[in-house]
Amino acid sequence: MNFVKTDNNDAFLKRMDNYLFIILLLMVACFFTWSENVNITRGIKIVGRMGVMISSIVIYKKIINHGAVNTMGYKNTFSPLFYIGYLFLGLLSFMWSTNPGFSALQWFMTFQSFVFAYFFIKSLKVLDTFYEGHSIRLYHLLGNTVFVLQLVFVVGLWVNPDVFFRLTNGGEEARLGGTLMNPNELGMLAGVGVACLIFDLYRFKNKTWTIIKILVIFYALFMTGSRSSLIGAFLIIFFHINQTKKQGLKLAIMGGVLLVMPFAINEIILKGGDQKRMEEILTLTGRLPFWQALINEGLPREPLLGFGYMRIDYKEFFQSVHTYPGKMTHNTFMQVLMNLGLIGLTIALFQVFFTIKAFFTEDKETKLMLIGILIPIIINSFTEFGIFGESNYGILFYQMIIFSVSFKNRIHLTPTQKLHLKKRRPEFFS
């Protein structure tokens, strides 16, 4: 069977490209706190995401109805199975959670993004199979999503700095994010955008617009003041420099990095050489003693199954004599350890291992894309919410990574599927 290009398919693919971009943009946007009103925020985060999740199913059905069939099988099954095992243990933990309502809310939001990621990636895989040669790419959709959201913040910091800036360190430092998003999480989003848009530099002949997008994202990243995200962005760039064989592109990227690196490191990582801020770096802004207290004091109380999904103590906050009070651990693996104990952490570590292992079964472009997206997410996981923490778009991106390595196309069509294709896509059999 050979694919035949038709105008009808071109128009359909253009619509699907737009629809996929819109629902991805809305899904990621639903993780932001767009209103100070708690009820509005909850409505956006729960009802809004439910609507977008249903939209992902509708789009998948549209693709099937237009002229495709579900021939998707599964590969690298340990990656999704261990993740499902993690979710199942989280569901069971409602029985012993120190706050079942909070655990249920967090679990439900994570499950929403899990279903969304499943149908979103499955739609792309079906398009790959039945519309060979199409130009819809996950990195392009995700890169443009990040660009639009970061552009909102870049404009906002000039138009309404009171909303888009967050004062930290006793009001001495203003960081992009404001009340809408944690600056470190916003910085991680910027890193994901850079990782994705770099692939457009490889793909498109006219690179000007892509470079402008990357520069806007880098400006937003700088204004977040996120050390971990800046390190992640530089790692992504050096990773791509090492991969590309285009000497002109390699020299241009290296020149740009060398130009901004000294200033960026001094201002963001070293904080202008401030001695007090340097001391903060050595303790990861107080995180190291907090983690030590969690292991020494918190873990022995519930070592095997933890305190329940997204719970780290019997009370709302964990606090040791020598640490600040905290509701989350600022480390996704520590979070799993406290939430679901040693059993949960074991499941999570095996899941990450099998996911990364699966990268090397993919084609070069997919493998490089997934590694690029994973770098900022994993770095963020060691200092913030991360891939197993409270509901955030890092979890969504990681779930998309899982499904990107989990689908494979079965070669054989059933008689019913052949009849469907002959009716919808007669050119498919030409």
Residue type, 182: N
- Per-residue pLDDT, 2: 46
Write out pLDDT tens, residues 92-141. Answer: 999 999 999 999 999 999 999 999 999 999 999 999 988 888 889 999 99
Write out pLDDT tens, residues 339-374. Answer: 999 999 999 999 999 999 999 999 888 998 999 999
**Both tokens assigned to 121:** 């990636």
Write out pLDDT tens, residues 270-282. Answer: 655 555 656 666 6
- CA-based max dimension of the chain: 74
Confidence (pTM): 0.91
Short-list 227, 228, 224, 219, CA closest to 260? 219
Write out pLDDT tens, residues 168-225. Answer: 766 567 788 888 999 999 999 999 999 999 888 888 778 889 999 999 999 999 898 8
